[in-house]
Amino acid sequence: MRLFTDSFQQLKKASVPLYRTPKSIQETIEILKVAENGIFEVRKGHYSKTYRFQDINYTTTTEGEQLSIIERYCKLLNSLDVEFKITLNNKNKDMQKLRKNVFLKERQDGYDEYRGMYNHIMEAKIQEGKQGIAQERYLTITIERGNFEEAKAQFATIEASLQKAFRELGSPIVPLSGNERMQVLYDYYHLGDEESFDFDIREAKQTGTDFRNDLCNGMLKYYSDYFQDENKVGRALFIKKYPSGLSDGFLNEIASLPVHSVISIDVVPIPKELTTKVLQKKYLGIESDIIRQQRVRNRNNDFSSEISYTKRNEKKEIENIMDDVRDNDQCLFYVAVTMVFLAKTREELDSITDTVMTIGKRNSVTIDKHYLMQREAVNTALPIGVRQVETMRTMLTQSLASLLPFNVQELQDETGVYYGINQVSKNINVGNRKKLMNGNGFIFGVPGSGKSFFSKMAMGAVYLSNGPDCHTDDIIVVDPMNEYFDIAKLYGGTVVNLSSYTDNYMNPLEVDLADLSVLKRRAVIRQKSEFMLGLCEQSTGESLNSRQKTLIDRCVRKVYQEAARKKQIPVMTDFYRTLLEQKEEEAKGLALSMELFTEGSLNIFNHQSNVDVDNRFLVFGIQDLGEELFPIAMLVMLECIQQRIMENWKKGIATWLWIDEFHVLLQSPYSANYLWALWKKVRKRRGICTGITQNLADILRSDSRDTIGTMLANSEFVALLRQSSTDLDTVADALNISEAQLDYVNNAPAGTGLLRFGSVVIPFDETVSKDSKLYQMYNTNPYELAEQAESADGGGSTGYPAED
């Protein structure tokens, strides 16, 4: 039904091109002036500004959660009282640049074969994803003002409410600078040659350069239903007819096609007072038509009170609209959808067009070509801020919201560690934990979920990476089950197997004071004194009083003074004997408590160090520690780790700490408190901690729940593999994960799950072919390992270790 005329026509009227008959390619670009702050004057007195906003998880949420997102999106739409355009831009992605950034580069250090294995896996996954496509989302607002300064002030006012509305949606939005907007347009005009962009507005002003010369193509021809430039052909389409109810997945289905495209939704809000006025006028008009219809019937001796079917429907439709506007906070908009698709050949373009139209038919949407309006349609689709085609129709807020520009989040940092592929988009996941506000994290997964393999993949990637900020990173692993000895051996690392019968010795008092200044000596001795306070407290099994603390501090200072004089490195026996020399009775008690760990059978820390704890890959095996030795060993090990992190920080080296069977360390109050403190302060020292354990729900129900809660709060990285179905509610509450997202960890295949990376939550798949050498190197499945020992595994199936 045609509802609106007169006053409404001016709102949806298309703008006239700057040049009706362009005499050059430059004149096809619909921009008058550009400014460094991103404001473009697109025609006299009309200014536009473009904002980039991020995708959010919509596809991977439940129906209830989707309704919540749509409600917030409706609120956003209603808040915009200016003309705006939402654009989904499937821009070109430089695949060679992607490979250059994420592939591990050769270093001729004996490990290039392993780097090749990683690169082979990533290449295969890249081939499965969207080749050469990177999707970006823009909001372009166009306003009418008297001059540039007035426009600038108005945009500042609009941005404040924009930021709030998009923040509520969970989608960060940032304004594009003038150069960034120019880059977006350049990338479209020069598809495949994006790296050649070299334009700066400030320099152009100083030299008097016309920006259009840098933007425009070398050749451009428009035909009746397509266009062509020197590198591509394209076609502009539009939605001609909508169904009564449009699926919220329709727009995403088209935007997800692996083709280069620009899809824009132009929206003109209709003022509420004008909407109400015209609706009432239309309603009265229908009532008048019904009265006239009844009079005609009466003259024909037809006294039936029945209203004709057509008028009955018209009245019902207008009443529904009036009710929605009045009671359901619905606003009225003029809306037009313009789509531009690009291809290398006409044949490919025709095929894309057929696919798009088929998707439309499947959703009861009629999509047609813009005949004889290709130039105007392209200008309309681009995020410039003009609308030069008249294909608008009226929509209420809820109908407009069905053209939802959201799908699923992506994890695509420029550099970082490979974390499999996104299960929805099939794009590879690359994340740099150093860029997170807090890079600490956890890996959760029940036995058989593949968490050990996942961890080893990350460890290997960090070790083999040789990016500008990663090639000197050190790796430390705390290994309660001795599962990581193999990967340490693989990369030439050091294994320190702590036990009462070990021949691996670590001297906790080891410090070479010879080359230190007086101030640094004092600082080191003070630090060692604090360490010995903790060690003595563990050996006595009770809290120390002030007299005992004074004695310990005195003895530590004496030990190091004597060591400096003799130019020797002290051991625990030196401390023990110094205690015995003291006159106080408390000293004798402390010495007796220390005797087991110095002169007794648990004296593994009373030797000079004979292991290379400075190795880039260091694994502490603690499976064989007895109950008596465990607390002392934990203290010594954690002190060593903290010292290593501090030393690396001073050298500008990052330290990655992985702690397997994390719950084991939480059972000791001392180690739990130590880890809690480490998690809070390590970020400032370039430390990145990762706890690995089975069921998150179990430790959240343990006595350490407050500790783990704090640590989770200080961790922006969480890999959640398969979890017990009975624990899903607890997991959802702890990690703020939606019910639909939990489907990706409930009975999930090995090697798949959810990855929370800062504000991004994505379903990942890091399964690796069983034929891959990398799989065989990192495999922890005891049954498969037994089979491999008997004979070579065959088949070429894809999998993940079933056991941890």
187-244 residue pLDDT tens: 999 998 999 999 999 999 999 899 999 999 889 999 999 999 998 999 999 999 999 8
Residues contacting residue 365 through CB under 8 Å, at least 6 positions apart: 239, 241, 242, 243, 246, 250
What integer pLDDT is reported at residue 120 of this predicted model?
94
SS3 call for 675: helix
Residue 333 per-residue DSSP state: E
Query: What angle, rounded to 10 degrees, do the helices at 112-128 and 95-102 form?
Result: 140
What integer pLDDT is reported at residue 306 of this predicted model?
65
Residue 248 per-residue DSSP state: T
User: In the numeric block, which tokens belong to residue 601?
Assistant: 């059978």
Stated as kind and residue range, the H or E segment containing 635 is helix 629-651
Long-range contacts of 666-669 (CB under 8 A, 24+ apart): 666/699, 666/702, 666/704, 666/707, 666/708, 667/704, 668/630, 668/631, 668/634
- Weakly modelled stretches of the chain, pLDDT under 50: 1, 467-469, 793, 796-797, 802-804
Residue 183 burial (C-beta neighbours within 10 Å; 0-12, 13-18, 19+):
middle
Give 297-328 pLDDT, tens digit per residue. Answer: 667 666 566 666 676 676 777 777 767 667 66
User: In the numeric block, which tokens belong to residue 251?
Assistant: 């727009």
Confirm if 353 and 391 have CB atoms less than 8 A apart.
Answer: no
Give 442-454 pLDDT, tens digit per residue. Answer: 999 999 899 999 9
Residues contacting residue 260 through CB under 8 Å, at least 6 positions apart: 90, 91, 92, 132, 133, 191, 232, 341, 342, 343
Confirm if 509 and 528 have CB atoms less than 8 A apart.
Answer: yes
Helices of type H across 220-365: 250-255, 272-299, 309-327, 346-362
Strands 428-431 and 655-659: unpaired
Q: How many angstroms separate the first and last alpha carbons of the chain? A: 64
Confirm if 381 and 87 have CB atoms less than 8 A apart.
Answer: yes
Confirm if 375 and 292 have CB atoms less than 8 A apart.
Answer: no
Query: What gap in Å lies between CA 369 and CA 398, rounded to an integer?
Result: 27
Query: What gap in Å lies between CA 776 and CA 791, rounded to an integer?
Result: 13
User: In the numeric block, which tokens belong to residue 259?
Assistant: 């083709």
Query: What gap in Å lies between CA 459 and CA 587, rounded to an integer?
Result: 45
Query: What gap in Å lies between CA 122 and CA 238, rounded to an integer?
Result: 38
Closest by CA position to 506, among listed 658, 634, 648: 634
Strands 687-693 and 655-659: parallel
Confirm if 356 and 240 have CB atoms less than 8 A apart.
Answer: no
User: In the numeric block, which tokens belong to residue 597?
Assistant: 């760990």
What integer pLDDT is reported at residue 803 of this predicted model?
47
Place of tokens 């939605």: 239
Q: How many CB atoms lie within 10 A of CB 540?
A: 15
Closest by CA position to 444, among listed 177, 723, 789, 134: 723
Query: What gap in Å lies between CA 580 and CA 599, rounded to an integer?
Result: 13
Q: How many CB atoms lie within 10 A of CB 501?
A: 9
Confirm if 148 and 39 have CB atoms less than 8 A apart.
Answer: yes
Residue 637 burial (C-beta neighbours within 10 Å; 0-12, 13-18, 19+):
buried
Closest by CA position to 476, among listed 643, 329, 331, 353: 643
Cα separations (Å) of 82 from 114, 154, 176, 273, 557?
Answer: 56, 11, 18, 15, 73
Residue 56 burial (C-beta neighbours within 10 Å; 0-12, 13-18, 19+):
buried
Q: How many CB atoms lie within 10 A of CB 450?
A: 31
Place of tokens 């025609």: 43
Give 249-305 pLDDT, tens digit per residue. Answer: 999 999 999 999 999 999 999 887 777 777 777 767 766 767 777 776 667 666 566
| Percentages of the chain per state (helix, strand, coil), in multiples of 5 | 45, 20, 35
Backbone phi, then psi, for 689, in 5-degree steps?
Answer: -100, 145
Closest by CA position to 458, among listed 447, 468, 470: 470
What integer pLDDT is reported at residue 1 of this predicted model?
44
Domain boundaries, the chain: 7-122+134-274+313-401, 507-608
Query: What gap in Å lies between CA 507 and CA 575, rounded to an integer?
Result: 12
What integer pLDDT is reported at residue 13 of this predicted model?
87
Look up the pTM and report it.
Answer: 0.85
Return the HEC string of 591-611: HHHHHHHHCCCCCCCCCCCCC
